Structures are given as structure tokens and as C-alpha cells.
């Protein structure tokens, strides 16, 4: 269960790393892969819906947090990773 702001931000960060095109307001039941198959099964859908409900109780605008805090940090980390790999 997500009970703190830090946990909510960590959950959103993890979701952005794993499923960067998944939006907090999307219905996970209808998300499909490139073959048209559901990405999440029924158990995963329930889990995601429950966690996002908890996130919305803690953060008034999770989308803002993703755009203003999480995505810029992900981009910085990806740039550092790319530079490191160029040196190898």
C-alpha cells in the first residue's frame, strides 16, 4: 500500500521506467502491446488501479509530478548512461 508521498513518487517513477507511455489516467484494462494483446492481466489491473487510487489520495496531480520531477530526472539518468557507454 502507498501511504506516503515518497512511496507515491517511487511508484510513479517505477511505472515511468517500466511503461513510459502509461499515463496515470489511462485504464490499464485497455492497454495493449504491439500485437494487440492486453499488457496487464486482471490481477495486475486491479493492483494498478488500487495503487493509482492511493497515489491520487496523496498527490493532487500525479501527472504534474511525472512531467516536472520524474521525466526530467529520467532524461538526465539516460544521458549519463549514454555518455558512460560511449566511453567504454
DSSP string for 31-63:
-B-TTS-BSS-HHHHHHHHHHHHHHHHH-S-HH
More confident residue, 8 or 82: 8
Residue ranges making up the domain that contains 51: 5-87
User: Which residue has cell 510513479?
Assistant: 12
- The answer for residues whose C-beta is within 8 angstroms of residue 32's C-beta and 6 or more apart is 38, 39
The domain total for the chain is 1
Euclidean distance between CA atoms 78 and 38, whole angstroms: 28
Q: What is the DSSP letter of 4?
A: S
Cut 0.75: pTM above it: yes
Taking only the tens place, the pLDDT of each residue in 13-40 is 999 989 888 889 999 999 998 999 999 9
Amino acid at each position: 500500500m502507498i501511504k506516503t508521498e515518497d512511496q507515491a513518487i517511487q511508484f510513479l517513477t517505477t511505472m515511468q521506467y517500466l511503461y513510459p507511455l502509461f499515463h496515470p489516467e489511462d485504464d490499464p484494462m485497455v492497454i495493449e502491446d504491439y500485437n494487440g494483446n492486453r499488457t496487464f492481466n486482471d490481477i495486475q489491473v486491479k493492483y494498478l488501479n488500487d495503487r493509482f487510487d492511493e497515489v491520487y489520495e496523496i498527490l493532487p496531480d500525479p501527472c504534474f509530478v511525472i512531467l516536472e520531477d520524474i521525466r526530467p530526472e529520467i532524461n538526465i539518468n539516460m544521458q549519463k548512461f549514454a555518455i558512460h557507454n560511449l566511453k567504454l
